[in-house]
Structure 1
Amino acid sequence: MAGLDKIISQIKEESQETAARTLAAARDEAEKVLAAARKEAESECADIERRSRQSVANILERGQSAADLRKRGSILAEKQKLIGDTIEKAKAELKGMDTDAYFDMILKLAVKSAQEGKGELLFSEKDLARVPEGFEDRLNAALKDKDAALHISKDTRDIDAGFVLTYGGIEENCSINAIFDSAHELLQDKVQEILFS
């Protein structure tokens, strides 16, 4: 029996060694799998962190761009308002000039707008009532070089300030509002240059 015990003992020993080697190999394999899983998890975490940082940076950049755009829009709107207010104040000042200064301006504007030949100036009812004595003579004296003559009509036009110039049924609106409207873009550019340069 001693031989059988020895064989059993040897089989047991070999089984234990095989089991120990298998267990060691399994542990090594488990360590490798665990290390690979750790490495993959670290890589995934780093990738998630990088994507998150990029996403946050993109959101912040879009937010900053939107804020900058809104700021620029507000500044532009305020500039446009200031320009418009300045133009309206200039228009109101022209309309509110004292009679002598106002008709000096009208004379210069009429001379500039007059064409060769005979024409008529039509004022608003208010302005017609305050035309200075001798204004038509002064106007025609200033027009001699242009070979033009203008007569102040008793008819009126529904304008706030300025005049309407007529030549044989053809009218040119030289009211202050019409002049400002036709030169609106130029006036905006000039006022912007003065205010913001």
Structure 2
Amino acid sequence: MATGLDRILEQIRADAEEKAAAEIAAAERDAEQTLARVAEEAEEKAAAMCAQSETQNADILAKAQSAAEFGRRRILLATKQGAIRDTVSAARERLHSLPDSEYFAVLLKLAQKNAADGEAQMRLNAKDLARMPRDFEAQLNAATPRGHITVSETPCDIADGFLLVYGGIDVNCTFDSLFEAEADALQDLAGSMLFR
């Protein structure tokens, strides 16, 4: 199960690296063309004004190059941020569309990590209730020995993942909630994988 998830994460990483590299290369080409065009225009202006002052010409060229470099950095930053967002979004989509056995293995690991002592009820959406393995509740309780968890037969209005309900306290283990809670860490991780 971990192997399948590792393969998926490795594929996501490879796809994202390839996409990011292509986007960065395109952004760098655009930035270089912009830099060349701005530099050419600046040189033409400088030649026309040469009689006025060499100091003015150098200043104009330096400002144009600085503006072009700033534009290039801005384009590269926007491209990197877009690649990171795309990578996190692809990871979320891959997780959502896992085969049933891998999906429920992920739910078991989430339950292990988030279960507390005592009696709880796990609430799933209608789709997950319909495809849930027959022995899932037994697997769930074997994986979370600190308490007892019963899977509710009533569907919950969530996209994926689950809610653990301990009396009046809900532990939100939906994928959206987990991605939102770890947004900064996931962006840092995606950035480090894409732009080492």
TM exceeds 0.5? yes
Residue in 2 aligned with 1:84? 85
| Aligned residue number for residue 70 of structure 1 | 71
Structure 1, unaligned stretches of length 5 or more?
Answer: 1-47
Aligned-residue offset at 1:49: 7.2
Show the counterpart of 1:126. Answer: 127
d(CA) in 1 for partners of 2:117 and 2:58? 70
TM-score by length of 2: 0.71
Fraction of identical pairs, as percent: 39
- Pairs within 5 Å for 1:19-38: none
Q: Which residue of 1 aligns with 2:170?
A: 171
Report if the CA contact (8 A) 2:50-2:57 is conserved.
no
- Asked whether 1:143 is paired with 2:109, we answer no
Query: The residue matched to 2:153 in structure 1 has which SS?
Result: strand
- Displacement, 1:154? 2.0
Q: Which residues of structure 2 form unaligned runs of 5+?
A: 1-48
Q: Find the counterpart in structure 1 of residue 152 from structure 2.
A: 153
Distance in 2 between residues matched to 1:60 and 1:166, nearest whole Å: 65
* Corresponding residue number in structure 2 for 1:18: none
Please provide the CA RMSD for this pair. Answer: 1.7
Report SS of the residue matched to 1:164: strand
Preserved contact between residue 125 and residue 162 of structure 2 (Cα < 8 Å): yes
Aligned-residue offset at 1:51? 7.1
TM-score (norm 1): 0.71
Deviation readout 1:41-97 (Å, 9 max, x if unpaired):
xxxxxxx97972222211211111111111111001111111111111111111111
**Residue aligned with 1:93, SS:** helix
Distance 1:120 1:169 in 2: 11
Q: Distance in 2 between matches of 1:134 and 1:55?
A: 80
Deviations 1:127-161 (A, max 9, x none): 111111010011101112xx211111123322211
1:110 paired residue number: 111
Query: Bigger radius of gyration, 1 or 2?
Result: 1
Q: For 1:86, give the aligned amino acid.
A: T
User: Which letter maps to 1:177?
Assistant: D
* Cα separation, 2, equivalents of 1:59 and 1:194: 40
Alpha-carbon distance, 1:114 to partner: 0.2
Which aligned runs of 4 or more in structure 1 are off by greater than 6 angstroms? 48-51
Shift of residue 102, structure 1, vs aligned partner: 0.5
Q: Which has the higher contact order (CA 8 A, sep 6+)?
A: 2
Which residue of 1 is the match for residue 193 of structure 2? 194
The answer to whether the 8 Å contact 2:124/2:163 transfers is: yes
- Residue 166 of structure 1 deviates from its aligned partner by 1.1
**Aligned-partner SS, 1:156:** coil
Q: Using the alignment, how far apart are the partners of 2:82 and 2:180 within structure 1?
A: 16
8 Å Cα contact 2:140/2:149 also seen in 1: yes
